[in-house]
Structure 1
Amino acid sequence: MKKSVSTILLMLILCTIGSAQNFIYKGNNQYQATNSWSFELNGHYWTGDPEFTIAKQPNGGYLMISIDVPFKSNYIGGTVTVFLSDGTIITCTDKGIKDHVNNKSIALYSFTKAEIERLKSNRITRIRFSIKGGMEGTETFTADNRRMTYAYYDSDSKSYYETDIAVSELFE
């Protein structure tokens, strides 16, 4: 039972150390990952914006979603929809892989190899996800791929994360 619980207990994001490698953890397994992207939440929630990370695994990849939650009973759950720049979507079903660490709800969703190929050639524009267990019941949100830029300092920066490039580099 203890081993089963530790397998379900999932990932912590390692701080970027020296080699700039990012990882997520699922149980005792470590997976190489992209940097985290803080997408802009549409609507209002108790806390800040969600973060998204994609990790490489032998049969495809993982999408890790994390967001600060006010209570341990709040968690990310249900179907997640990933909207791509070519107008298509990827639907991820909830496999119940979740954790609560440092006041954050963290959930892990799987991508197939074919879905990873689509992510390599199309930027993520929006992600739809739900937070369950709160006083409001299930709340569903979308988060747009927008990042804060400062025109004076970031004149060469884009106002969005180049997720397609990051996924392509991860899966080289």
Structure 2
Amino acid sequence: MKKCLIILTATMFFTLTGKGQDFFFIGEKSYPCTETFTLKSNSADSEVTDLKVLFGKNEMSGVFIVSKKTVSTVRISGKLIIYLDDGTVISCIDRDINDNVDDIASSAYQLTNEELLKMKNSNIHTVRYTIKCVECFGPISAEGNFTASNKGSSKTDFPTLITDFFSE
């Protein structure tokens, strides 16, 4: 009975304190990551949906990952700009880490330690991103530059999230 009680207590302890590791997959790469958060679209076009964001890690640095529901022929690509509440602007270079699976376009952008530090000190206000069609013939409404903001009831405290995630 005593042995059973010890095993039960240990199991409950590990269940309550253990953290599961999330992974984000893009192409042939996987990244340990945070949960996904939503930034609200600023577009008046009802076809332009909200942007999903999360943070990942690779061997060298942090990764900012964006995704959204769209059509299968488009990608999130080109420069991505992160505007912080304190007026800081972070420009992320497209390193061609993008994919579109099940009509969800995803891209990963490398972050330097300096950029992560800036994001630990000021919350994300808005993200500007570009949707490009890779197989279209003629203009489509899904293509262009768009923004999404950290606002409303889904506003996220990214400095705390980043501090916690990158200190693990």
TM-score by length of 2: 0.77
1:144 aligns with 2:144: no
Retained in 1: the 8 A contact 2:41–2:48?
A: no
- Which residue number corresponds to residue 131 of structure 1? 131
Name the CA distance, whole Å, in 1 between partners of 2:130 and 2:107: 11
- What SS class does the counterpart of residue 171 from structure 1 fall into? helix
Instruction: Measure how far apart 1:138 and its partner are.
Output: 3.7
Match of residue 166 from structure 2 = 171
* C-alpha separation in 2, matches of 1:19 and 1:101: 28
Structure 2 residue aligned with 1:90: 90
> What is the CA-CA distance between 1:103 and the residue it aligns to?
1.3
The alpha-carbon deviation at position 105 of structure 1 amounts to 0.5
**Which one has the largest radius of gyration?**
2
AA at the equivalent of 2:63: Y
Unaligned runs of 5+ in 2: 1-17, 134-138
| TM-score of the two chains, using structure 1 as the length reference | 0.75
- Does the 8 Å contact 2:26/2:98 carry over to 1? no
* SS of aligned partner of 2:77: strand
Aligned partners of 1:28 and 1:78: how far apart in 2? 20
Aligned to 1:116: 116
Distance 1:109 1:127 in 2: 12
**Structure 1 stretch displaced more, 139-148 or 40-49:** 40-49
Distance 1:51 1:31 in 2: 16
- The residue that corresponds to 2:55 in the other structure is 54
Measured after TM superposition, the shift of residue 88 of structure 1 is: 0.5
> What SS is found at the alignment partner of 1:135?
coil
